[in-house]
């Protein structure tokens, strides 16, 4: 029996709650990602292993993480983020991280970084 690594049932309630309570920066970036506006389908609050990713494009294995203020006040959160990024990288998932501040003050720049990465990953053979 193989372990399910994506959207595990045990995390369904958590994913659902997170989708309903998205912070403003996540709502703003979701409006730019939804309906394949980037050329790929992004999913909200998608789980891989025991991690819940803010946004994930499965076809190109790209995760987007939006870090709130707590990520910079709490060294434990930063350590957990590094561990999460390393685990995802080991299975071929690229992680881009943005802060709430970046989204609120430089949305165009954030979108350009995302679009550039999407284009690069789409043109890279799997």
Question: What pLDDT is attached to residue 68?
Answer: 85
| Calpha distance 86→100 (Å, rounded) | 22
Per DSSP, the three-state class of 2 is: coil
What are the tens digits of pLDDT across the range 50-64?
888 999 999 999 999
In total, how many domains does the chain have?
A: 1
Question: What pLDDT is attached to residue 2?
Answer: 39
Residue ranges in the chain modelled with pLDDT below 50: 1-4
Structural domain harbouring 38: 9-123
64 inside domain: yes
N-term to C-term CA, the chain: 26
Q: How far is CA 71 from the centre of its chain?
A: 15
74 inside domain: yes
| Calpha distance 113→115 (Å, rounded) | 6
**Strand-pair category, 43-48 with 51-57:** antiparallel
Question: What pLDDT is attached to residue 59?
Answer: 95
User: How many CB atoms are located within 10 Å of the residue 110 CB?
Assistant: 22
14 inside domain: yes
Q: CATH number of the domain at 45, please.
A: 3.40.960.10
1 inside domain: no
Question: What pLDDT is attached to residue 1?
Answer: 36
2 inside domain: no
33 inside domain: yes
Question: What pLDDT is attached to residue 76?
Answer: 80
Q: What is the pTM of this model?
A: 0.81
């Amino acid at each position: 029996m193989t372990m399910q690594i994506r959207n595990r049932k045990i995390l369904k309630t958590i994913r659902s709650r997170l989708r309903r309570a998205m912070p403003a920066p996540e709502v703003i970036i979701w409006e730019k990602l939804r309906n394949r506006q980037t050329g790929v389908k992004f999913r909200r609050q998608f789980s891989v292993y025991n991690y819940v990713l803010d946004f994930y494009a499965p076809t190109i294995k790209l995760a987007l993480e939006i870090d709130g203020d707590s990520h910079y006040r709490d060294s434990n959160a930063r350590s957990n983020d590094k561990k999460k990024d390393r685990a995802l990288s080991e299975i071929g998932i690229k992680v881009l991280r943005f802060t709430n501040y970046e989204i609120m003050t430089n949305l165009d720049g954030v979108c350009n970084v995302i679009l550039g990465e999407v284009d690069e990953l789409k043109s890279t053979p799997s």
